Structure 1
Amino acid sequence: MPWLAELALHLYRALHLLVLTVVPTWLSPEPMPPRALALAGALSAAALASALGLSAWFAARLETRLARNGAALLWLAIATALAAALYYRGPRAPLAQGVFLVAAPLWAALATLASAAAERWLGSSFKHRRMGAAIVVIGLGAVQVFGASSLLGSRERMWWAALRRDGAHLRAVDELTRPLLDQRKQGDLDGVAARCLKMHPASAAPAAPATCACLALRAEARLHARNAGAALRDAEAARERCPEQKGARAVLAEALAVAGRTERAEAEARAALEEGGDPSRLRYALALALERAGRVAEARAEAERAIEAGAGRKAQLLAGALAILTGDLDGATARLAPLAQQDPSDAEALYNLALVADKRGDYNGARQGYLAALKADPRNADARYNLALLTFRAGIVDESRHHARKFLEAFPEDPRGSQLARTTGTPEGAARDGGSPPSRAGGRRPAQDPAGSSGPR
């Protein structure tokens, strides 16, 4: 951003913070950059200069110590707001955290100036006019600041307040969802999306950016829930409503890939990349589309590019899975081992590392890895299936049949169950009138992130 635009944004944020300090609940805790940034910056500069000039004129007019002190405190408050606006930005946002820093000099300035004005204009009949004016102003400040302390004391509540005021606040959406993704609580994404849509209903304004952000978030939540059809519907709706919103396009490209519409997913991802979209997300979606189309080598190259662009766990897991598919077991280990070290309960990474050990003929490593994956996720059908086959090949028949029975009980609709029972000599006594949906056919395929799982193969 050019320095003039940076300056305009900084002045706008400083003025926003001063207003927040007076009325903390009237404005967004973290303002979106204004569309007419140059105009907003000019108006903000004029407002701040006017406040400085009026306070200086007021002090000169009254020629009292109180007036001079009030003007000095106001200058200090504005300087504090400028510094706080510079500090509470980027990763240290939201801006409203600076209210507590600016409140002391600003409300002290207002109280002092009110005392000076009361001394000059209320007349001698008001014996405690200076103290009374100061107490009223300080009391008002205390009510405003401390009344909003529950909001200002919680970054999460501040981001929710920002999203409530502006549903297109993608930074707020990111801040509210990132902790869930970091903690791998993808199931909670749907709750965030539902709350977002409750604030900004999809039926309220067909072209509202607010609705687009909420729909894109719900599409992402449904991807993690492996509901590709519903995810695609939401992503299509978000793309149709707000074609210029690049985040929605990335979710659409990923949803198309997961739904198996690989040609359109590839086209959407490449077009969005040409238009300057987020390369980390779009290259991941492109890699996913290429993998679904059977172009594994190209998919692996795109997954690596996504990681270089800053993509996280999903891209690393995909890169590791693709390395396994191309026979590069060392490359797969290099991508997957850091994920397992970072999160020992990462079931997909643990499963893929066990698969690497299995392919290398490392019985103990494979067995321990599959067991670790099952401990992290007891619903990991592939880990249970492979464990039954691994132990059967090793001649440990009792353990093999134990895992085969567990597989049949937990996944009665999985088409691999009958063959597994015949191979291990396990009676098919498990009920087949319910249970989990079938997983991928063939247990020796690597796992991907749930959002990248396309179901049976």
Structure 2
Amino acid sequence: MPWLAELALHLSRALHLVILAVAPTWLSPEPLPAGALALSGALSAGALAAALGLSAWFAARLETRLARNGAALLWIAITAAIVATIYYRGPRAPLAQGVVFVAVPLWAALATLAAAATERWLGSSFKHRRMGAAIAVIGLGVVQLRGAAPLLGSREQMWWAALRRDGAHLRAIDELARPLRERGKLDELDGVAARCLRMHPAAAPAAPATCACLALRAEARMHARNAAGALRDAESARERCPEQTSTRAVLAEALAVAGRPERAEAEARAALEEGGDPSRLRYALAIALERAGRLAEARAEADRAIDAGAGRKAQLLAGALAILAGDLDGAKARLTPLAEKDPSDAEVLYNLALIADKRGDYNGARQGYLAALKADPRSADARYNLALLTFRAGIVEESRHHVRKFLDAFPDDPRGSQLAQTTGTPLGTTGGGALPPRSDARQAPHEPAASSGPR
């Protein structure tokens, strides 16, 4: 950014922060970049210069120590605002975190100037008014800051406030969703998306907030293995905001998990050519290629996504693709850091157990599948593989226990009846006795988890 534009941005944000220090709920905790940055910067520079000039004029006019102290405190407050705008930006945003550092000298300046004005114009007969004016101003400041304490004490609440005030605040949506993605709590994304959509129920059809919220809900539905719902949301977001490459990345991923890899590939490649986020788009492209059966290409794209900054999902996909390619050492190298970062990540635990299973490590595989089930009792693949693992090891009763658990938890899974027949487990009280094992009792365990929705 040219230095003049950088200066204009800092001045605009400094004025924004000064206003927040006066009334923390009047403006967004993190302002959006101004469209006319030069004009905004010029107006902000004028407003700040006017405040400084008036304070200097006031101090010169009164010629009292109190007035000079008030003017000096105001200069300190505005200097603090400019410094805070330099610090609270980019990854350190939102800007409202700097309110306290500006509010203390600013309200002290206002109280001191009010006392100086009272001393000058109310005369000696009102000698107690000077203290009263200062106390009144400080009290107002305390009320303002105390009322905003819940907001100013939480970065999450600041981002919600920014989104509530401005539905086009895509950064706020991303900041609210990112911690959930990083901690693997993707189930909670749907709640964020729902709250976001409730904030702007009357948004115009092409409102950016609506598009971003729909894209977020599509991501949540993919995690919930609702491919049809995810695709509907992703297509709606893409139709409403075709210029947003982030919605195109979600659409490409939704198309892939919905069984349309060709269209998914085309969407991802087109968005990459237009300069979209390579970490998300290359991840979506890797899923599309994997669903198309082009595993070597998919693995290369997953590696490119990771190199571009993609996080857990891309690393999990790269590990799954390595397992499918028979590169168990490579898969473990990809997955182990994820397990160290989050020891309760069910999908990572499942894939590590699968690696042990493929290596013939019975104890490692069994403990891994059990750990995956403890982390996520809904892991049908872990329960399925655990039933097969114990059956192959000749521990038939434990195997049938897991088969019954599988049938109870996933009654609609078509693998259940085959698993029962393979292990000789009764299908229920009306199903007769135990079925004899079939010749395919040593069938392979289920495929690795890739965090990319239903297949």
Q: 1:13 to 1:431 in 2, by over 3 A?
A: farther
CA deviation profile, 1:306-349 (whole Å, cap 9, x unmatched): 11111111111100111111111111111112222222222211
- What is aligned with 1:278? 277
Alignment-mate amino acid for residue 193 of structure 2? A
CA distance in 2 between counterparts of 1:298 and 1:6 reads 42
- Give 1:16 deviation, angstroms: 0.6
- Conserved? CA contact 2:71–2:113, under 8 Å: yes
- Root-mean-square deviation (CA), in Å? 2.0
CA deviation profile, 1:253-311 (whole Å, cap 9, x unmatched): 21111112212211111121122211111111110111111111111101011111111
Gaps of 5+ in 2: 432-442
CA deviation profile, 1:71-104 (whole Å, cap 9, x unmatched): 1111111111111222222232221121111112
- What is aligned with 1:104? 104
- Any runs of at least 4 consecutive aligned residues in structure 1 with deviations exceeding 6 A, and if so which? none
- What is aligned with 1:404? 403
Q: 1:260 to 1:3 in 2, by over 3 A?
A: farther
Could you say what secondary structure the match of 1:52 adopts? Answer: helix
- What is aligned with 1:63? 63
Alignment-mate amino acid for residue 222 of structure 1? R
Could you say what secondary structure the match of 1:281 adopts? Answer: helix
Deviates more, 1:188-197 or 1:124-133: 124-133
Deviates more, 1:32-41 or 1:2-11: 2-11
- Give 1:228 deviation, angstroms: 1.5
Q: 1:125 to 1:272 in 2, by over 3 A?
A: same
Alignment-mate amino acid for residue 296 of structure 2? A
Could you say what secondary structure the match of 2:426 adopts? Answer: coil
- Is residue 20 of structure 1 aligned with residue 24 of structure 2? no
CA distance in 1 between counterparts of 2:325 and 2:370 reads 25
- What is aligned with 1:380? 379
CA distance in 2 between counterparts of 1:222 and 1:430 reads 36
Q: How many residues align?
A: 444
Q: 1:210 to 1:396 in 2, by over 3 A?
A: closer
Gaps of 5+ in 1: 433-440
- Conserved? CA contact 2:24–2:144, under 8 Å: yes
- Give 1:430 deviation, angstroms: 7.1
- Give 1:442 deviation, angstroms: 7.1
- Give 1:389 deviation, angstroms: 2.0
- What is aligned with 2:9? 9
CA distance in 2 between counterparts of 1:18 and 1:247 reads 33
Deviates more, 1:4-13 or 1:190-199: 4-13
CA distance in 1 between counterparts of 2:102 and 2:365 reads 59
TM-score with structure 1 length normalisation?
0.92
CA distance in 1 between counterparts of 2:200 and 2:236 reads 14
Identity %, equivalent residues? 82
TM-score with structure 2 length normalisation?
0.92
- 1:348-363 matched pairs, under 5 angstroms: 348-363=347-362
Q: 1:45 to 1:386 in 2, by over 3 A?
A: same
- 1:194-233 matched pairs, under 5 angstroms: 194-201=194-201, 203-233=202-232
CA distance in 1 between counterparts of 2:169 and 2:108 reads 33
- Conserved? CA contact 1:168–1:212, under 8 Å: no
- Give 1:402 deviation, angstroms: 2.6
- What is aligned with 2:240? 241
Could you say what secondary structure the match of 2:293 adopts? Answer: coil
